[in-house]
Structures are given as structure tokens and as C-alpha cells.
Amino acid sequence: MYFALSKLYFSFPQLISDIAKQCVDVDPSKRPTADDLFEKFYQWLINLTDSEINKQIKEADEFNEKQPILNLQILHILKLFIQVYY
């Protein structure tokens, strides 16, 4: 998933975006529970080397590293957020 903030472009994993959207769904019954999130994150953690989330993190990192220097502050914030999933 790619986002533009003014003319700054950055990317982060689609799987994380999907979960974030679910967490703020207008219908509370469609939001994941804490147990659901724990299970999802745990599965990512134990299968990190061959997981889709790992692939998406690497793709986002590669895209973000090619962006102009002005993106460095945004990238720093994103990397702090994404490190939770490493």
C-alpha cells in the first residue's frame, strides 16, 4: 500500500493496513478481538522468514529507501511501527 503525504510517498505492508482498517470498522462486530490480533501477530512472528508479512515488509522497505531524503522522518516513524512485526 502506498500513501502520499503532500508530495512525500511511502509504503507499508498491506497486511498491516488491512488489520488497521478492521480495527476501526464502524461495525464493532467486524473488529478483531485482542485474542485475534495476538494470534495473527504470533503467527507472523513464528513464521517470519517465510511469511507474507516478511515479504511485504521487505518490499515496503525497498520502496521507501528509494524515496527522496525528505521522507526520512516519515520512514523513521514507519520503521519504529513496523519493527513490532520483525
Rounded Cα–Cα distance for residues 37 and 65 (Å): 29
Q: What's the pTM value of the predicted model, to 2 decimals?
A: 0.63
* CA 25 from centroid of its chain's CA atoms: 17
Digit-coded pLDDT (tens) for 40-52: 999 888 887 778 8
pLDDT tens readout for residues 1-34: 555 545 556 788 899 889 999 999 999 999 999 9
Each domain of the chain, given as residue ranges in start order, spans 2-85
| Rounded (10°) angle between helices 72-82 and 52-65 | 170
Beta bridge partner(s), residue 10: 3
Residue 70 burial (CB < 10 Å; 0-12/13-18/19+)? exposed
